[in-house]
Each structure stands twice: as structure tokens, then as C-alpha cells.
């Protein structure tokens, strides 16, 4: 499953062969406590309108202004520049931070979503993504085989050490933590017992998400207060009323912050 979203209503074919696409991407983060890996993020990539005519462009810019912090956007200038990014409105919860970005991408929504499906973040070292794979809707531990080939670097070594001592920084539940066994198996940078533990945890969490949405995910209560991903996401959305209202139809059909949705995970 990929952490991207798009509106399937905007994926219909068009007679226009090539046109710009205005994209607004709200990024809402739940800031972790010091030395804690607990964080909840929501990334929504939403196709607003296909822009071919001047009037259509004006409508897209007006719609963007109606729910985002970008109340004044020069579409022609934006098309020539890089991504426009700015902080969103202040949030009541001190752990939450909202960042919004928008940009113009050439091509149709269908072309953009296909490019996202093919995108491999491991090819961009600045992102510090070490492993990437596409998952089916009914995964097994075998789908996480790449964990055994994790690179030998400081980040992976730190992650392995935290797992082996069941650090309080781990985002797992008490029940999940009980399933870890140090074992004696070998392996590369990520020992076989560590890789097997995370393959089982991720497999179970993926299945829970597909069948019951975020609401079905176990809490992060291994150490400290219980934190549920669904409650974090819903808290973020409640603090961003304009965005929540703008995308309520889409969010209502997904498993984001709630039970299983009608969209298949591959769509978001």
C-alpha cells in the first residue's frame, strides 16, 4: 500500500491530451515526545481539477483558496516554480503541526497516479528510505522478505538494538512485544529473529487495516500511555476543519481514521 491518495472521480479519460494538474498536498504531523518514535502523519495527495481553459484554472485556484492557506496563487508562476510550501493554521494540540504544499504537475490525474505507483523512494537517498515494497491486500510474512536485506548503516543498527531490548521507543502493542524472541539465528545487518518479528507485526497490522481500517489497529501501548493511530488522525482532522470538510466524501470511503472503507487500499 502506498501513502498517497487521489480521487477516483478525477481519473476519467479526457479529450485533452496534455494539461496541467494543480495539486494540493496537506501534511499533518503529530510531533513525537523527546526520544520517542511515536508519531502519526497523514499525507493526502488530491487532484483538484483538470486545467485546460483559463476559466477552469480560475475555478481551481478559487477552490484551493476556499480550504487551504493558499488564498492567492499565481498559477502561471506556480507552473514555472518548485513546490510552494507553508505552515498551516496553529493547532490546539502542541504535538500537532500542519504543513500544506501545492504545485502544478504536467499530465492527467491518471498519469500522475500511475507514476506514483511506479515510484521507488529508495532511489532518492535524501529521503533516507532504505527498503520499499508493494503489498497485496492479503499479505503474508513472505511479502516482507526484504527486511533480511536491510543495509548496514547507523539507522538500521539503532533500530535492531531497540528491537532486541524492546525499547520504549518501539511503536508496538504490549501483545506484539510479547511475541519477540531474540533467538540465535544469524543474518546480516538485521538478524533473522528481528526480521521475523517485524514481518509478523507488519503482516498482522496490514491485514487489520484492510479488514477493519485504522480503528482495528492495535494501540501503541508497549510503554507509556496508550496511543491509537485512528484517534491521532481524527484529532488532526478535527483541528483542520476546512480540509476535513473538503475531503469528507473521500475520507468517508477510505479506512483512514475509521473502519474499513469501500475503496481498495491500492487506491490510496
Whether 155 maps to a domain, the answer reads yes
Whether 240 maps to a domain, the answer reads yes
C-alpha cell at 78: 506556480
Whether 188 maps to a domain, the answer reads yes
Instruction: Report the interhelical angle of 192-212 vs 154-164 (nearest 10°).
Output: 80
Whether 130 maps to a domain, the answer reads no
Same domain, 93 and 34: yes
Same domain, 112 and 211: no
Same domain, 106 and 236: yes
Instruction: Identify the pLDDT of residue 172.
Output: 96
Q: Are 49 and 56 within 8 A, CB to CB?
A: yes
Same domain, 12 and 93: yes
Same domain, 184 and 253: no
Instruction: Identify the pLDDT of residue 258.
Output: 79
C-alpha cell at 255: 479506512
Total domains in the fold of the chain: 2
Which single residue is written with the C-alpha cell 497516479? Answer: 113
Whether 159 maps to a domain, the answer reads yes
Instruction: Identify the pLDDT of residue 36.
Output: 36
Distance, CA of 62 to CA of 231 (rounded, Å): 32
Instruction: Identify the pLDDT of residue 162.
Output: 96
Containing structural domain, residue 171:
141-216
Same domain, 163 and 76: no
pLDDT mean for each 10 residues of the chain (268 residues)? 35 34 51 36 34 49 90 87 87 86 88 88 93 88 94 95 95 95 80 95 92 91 90 89 88 81 62
Tell me, yes or no, if the pTM score tops 0.85.
no
Amino acid at each position: 500500500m502506498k501513502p498517497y491518495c487521489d480521487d477516483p472521480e478525477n481519473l476519467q479519460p479526457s479529450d485533452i491530451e496534455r494539461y496541467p494538474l494543480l495539486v494540493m498536498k496537506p501534511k499533518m504531523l503529530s510531533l513525537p515526545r523527546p526520544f520517542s518514535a511515536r508519531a502519526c502523519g497523514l499525507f493526502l495527495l488530491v487532484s483538484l481539477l483538470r486545467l485546460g481553459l483559463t476559466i477552469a484554472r480560475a475555478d481551481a485556484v478559487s477552490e484551493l483558496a476556499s480550504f487551504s492557506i493558499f488564498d492567492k496563487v499565481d498559477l502561471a508562476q506556480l507552473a514555472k516554480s518548485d513546490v510552494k510550501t507553508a505552515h498551516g493554521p496553529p493547532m490546539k494540540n502542541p504535538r500537532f503541526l500542519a504543513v500544506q504544499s501545492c504545485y502544478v504537475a504536467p499530465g492527467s490525474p491518471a498519469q500522475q497516479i500511475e507514476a506514483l505507483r511506479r515510484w521507488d523512494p529508495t532511489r532518492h537517498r535524501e529521503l533516507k528510505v532504505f527498503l520499499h515494497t508493494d503489498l497485496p491486500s492479503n499479505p503474508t510474512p513472505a511479502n516482507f522478505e526484504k527486511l533480511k536485506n536491510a543495509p548496514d548503516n547507523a539507522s538500521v543498527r539503532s533500530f535492531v538494538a531497540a528491537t532486541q531490548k524492546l525499547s520504549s521507543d518501539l511503536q508496538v502493542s504490549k501483545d506484539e512485544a510479547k511475541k519477540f524472541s531474540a533467538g540465535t539465528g544469524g543474518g546480516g545487518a538485521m538478524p533473522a529473529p528481528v526480521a521475523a518479528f517485524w514481518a509478523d507485526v507488519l503482516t498482522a497490522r496490514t491485514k487489520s487495516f484492510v479488514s477493519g481500517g485504522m480503528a482495528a489497529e492495535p494501540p501503541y501501548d508497549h510503554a507509556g500511555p496508550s496511543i491509537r493511530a485512528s484517534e491521532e488522525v481524527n484529532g488532526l482532522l478535527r483541528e483542520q476543519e476546512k480540509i476535513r470538510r473538503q475531503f469528507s466524501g473521500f475520507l468517508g470511503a477510505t479506512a483512514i481514521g475509521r473502519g474499513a472503507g469501500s475503496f481498495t487500499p491500492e487506491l490510496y
